[in-house]
Structures are given as structure tokens and as C-alpha cells.
Structure 1
Amino acid sequence: MKYMLLVCGDDTADASAMAPVEPWVEELGDRSVRLHGHRLALPSEAVTVRVRGGEVLRTDGPFAETKEYVAGFDVLECDSLEEAVEAAAKHPVATIGAMEVRPFWPMWDEEDAETAVRRLDVELTEAARERDVERMLACYAPDVEVFHLTTGQEQRGIDAFRKAVEGVFATVTGPVTREVLDFRVHVDESIAFGHALVRMRATRADGEPLDDTVRVTTGYRNIGLRWVIVHEHVSATVEAENGKERS
């Protein structure tokens, strides 16, 4: 289960004798307990935002004036609350401040990240078969960066990518078969990476068959309600008949 560890500092405490944080980060990282985290700027650099009557009210400074403040955060993956508390107690800031351990909201009814990413890949396969450009583009972020061997160029942004996809679909007739031969996914909180071997088959406009197998490296980002593709690189093609990479 995931836990948010809020590192609460105290601006009146003497931190001169506090142990360095780096060994704690390295130890928990090596054990795959600490998934992510970062130090935050001081409260004096905060901006508090409120909306009242449709008007945005901005106040420079923290939400509450207090000597205690959130100095950083860490996301932990632990088997129990007790394990998370034990990890928090070993954090150097715990000796001069406080550590708030809070479990993430239960995700029993939510789709796990890897399943969501794999479902997105299935959507690409369905969109390719129907040659549905808009359905395919819905899988990508507006600022996506894509490099494909077909055009030999990098497309930056969804508009450039749309032109490239339309250009590819214009060279074939009928459905496009997208067969994923191998797909490995690594997910880390709000980002994910995929490595796939994909076979594309279709009929060219001149009646000749198209049968290419390519390696696809994909970067994904969780934008809150769904995952989208932010980077895609189609690398060296592979000869379907003998499995040898082309130079």
C-alpha cells in the first residue's frame, strides 16, 4: 500500500546536528520502499490561491502562519502502516520536526496504472484497424513528441503528428493490423515507459502488401484522470521473414 510521508520542519529548531537525509533516501530506495519524493521551497515562497464569488484571490505566503511547515514529501510503498511509521521514524527530520504518515485514498474501485497503460495500447490497436485518426490521437498528449521511421522526421505537437498519421493512412487501403508481439511496461507513479515489438500489416494503395515489424519505445504520463502518450520513438525495423534487423 502507498503512503504519503509529509516531512514537517520547524523553523525554530536547531538543525545543525541533524544527520544528512541522503543515506535514508538511498537505503529506502534500494529496498524499493521509497518510490518518489522531493524537498520543497520555504513557506515564504508559497502562493495561496482561493476562489470566492468567481474571483481568484492570490496571497503570497503559506495558507497558515505557523512555525511548523511541510518541508518535503516522500511516497512510500509499504506492507503495513507500522512499516511506514518505522520508515518515517528513521528520517533525520523526525529528530527536530515531525513526520505525518498518511495512506493514499483506497484504489479498490480504480484501475491500476499498468492495466491502464496496457489498455491504452489496445486502444491504439483498435484505432489503427479502423484507420480512425481522431481515436488514435486521443491516446496522445497535446505536446507529444513522436519519431517514426516512416517519415524519417520528428513530429512535435499533436497537429504535426496528425498530419503524419493521415499521411501514413493515405498510403494504405482497408484495415491496418497492429499486432503487439512483446510489450514490457514499467510504471512509476505518474510516469511510465513501455518497450514493444509491433508488427504492422496492411495493403498499400498500389496493391502491394505492407508487413513491417518495428521496435517502439513509449513514454506515458498520468494527467490526473487518464494516461496519455507523451513520447514515442519507432526504432530499427526488423525483417519479418528472418528476424534480422535492418541497418
Structure 2
Amino acid sequence: MTSKNNDESQIRQLIADWTSAFCLKDIDRLMANYADDVIIFDIKPPFQRKEANEWRRAWEECLPYFPESFQTETRDMIIHVSDDVAFAHWLWRFTGIPQEHRAIKTWMRATVGYKKQNGRWLIVHEHASLPFNPETSQVVFTSDP
């Protein structure tokens, strides 16, 4: 396996580990994937979050409001890798959520930047978003992108 293929496999595994930790609401496992100086552009305010500790606090505040049990579905994932920097983007949504739960029932977008530090890939930038209609400033919810 070439180094580039190996790096892409490591990024795919990091994404799978992150997703598993997210679905289990395991904050320690989630945070193990982030560099200390990560920059986050999240769906909900504030505009940006700097540093892993700030992002940890955000997870601690919001994960209790997530459904007891859920999974995610991912599609259209693309990963670009160079020697020590990589990025990936994909569409994702929650699955397995009870109909009455308030969790978002739409496809969302993710773009994540990675940097290899001491031989290990870590998330250095994460951007989650929902499309919006610029004429109304309203989020566009879609069940089929």
C-alpha cells in the first residue's frame, strides 16, 4: 500500500472512529481526534470556536439534548491527502431518531481539515453547515440532496 493510500485509510478510520464516538455520545473519544488548536465553524452559534477545550464544553452542553440512541448516514465523501495535510467533505444526516424528537432531520454538510502531527492525523478545522435561502435567510431543509 502506498503512503498516500495508507494516509487516506487512516483518515477514513479517524472519520469512522469520530462517528462511532459521536453516536455513543462519548466526549473523550470524540476529543481524542482533535488538535489542541482546532478551529470549529459549527451549525449553531458562536460564529467560531477556537481550541479543543472550548469545543469540548460545547459538546458537554449539547449532547444531553441529542436522542438517547441514533446513528448517522454519510454519502458523497471525498478525501484529499498530501504529505501532512488532508481534507475531506461529505453529506450526512441523523438516522434512527424517533419521529417526535427535535433533532435535525435533514442532510447537513461537513468539511474537515486534518494535519499529521507526530505521525498521527488530527482534526485542525471542522466546518458543519446547512444550506440557506439568501432571499429569506431561512435554512433549507432537504431530505434528498
Is the TM value for this pair above 0.5? yes
1:226 corresponds to = 120
Higher RCO (Cα < 8 Å, 6 or more apart) = 2
1:186 corresponds to = 80
Does residue 101 of structure 2 align to residue 208 of structure 1? yes
What is the one-letter code of the residue matched to 2:44? Answer: T
Which secondary structure state, in structure 1, belongs to the residue aligned with residue 130 of structure 2? strand
Separation in 2, partners of 1:172, 1:133: 13
Query: Once superposed, which parts of structure 1, at least 4 consecutive aligned residues long, lie more than 3 Å away?
Result: 201-204
- Gaps (5+ residues) in structure 1? 3-106
- Gaps (5+ residues) in structure 2? 132-139
Q: CA RMSD in A?
A: 2.4
Does residue 8 of structure 2 align to residue 114 of structure 1? yes
Deviation at 1:201, TM superposition (A): 4.1
Separation in 2, partners of 1:203, 1:152: 26
Paired residues of 1:124 and 1:139 also in contact (CA < 8 A): yes
Which has the higher Rg, Structure 1 or Structure 2? Answer: 1
Which secondary structure state, in structure 2, belongs to the residue aligned with residue 146 of structure 1? strand
2:134 corresponds to = none
Which secondary structure state, in structure 2, belongs to the residue aligned with residue 151 of structure 1? coil
Separation in 2, partners of 1:202, 1:150: 22
Query: How many residue pairs were aligned?
Result: 134
Deviation at 1:202, TM superposition (A): 6.5
Paired residues of 2:70 and 2:96 also in contact (CA < 8 A): yes
Tell me the percent identity. Answer: 29
What TM-score do you get using the length of structure 1 for normalisation?
Answer: 0.49
What TM-score do you get using the length of structure 2 for normalisation?
Answer: 0.81
Higher percent of residues as strand? 1
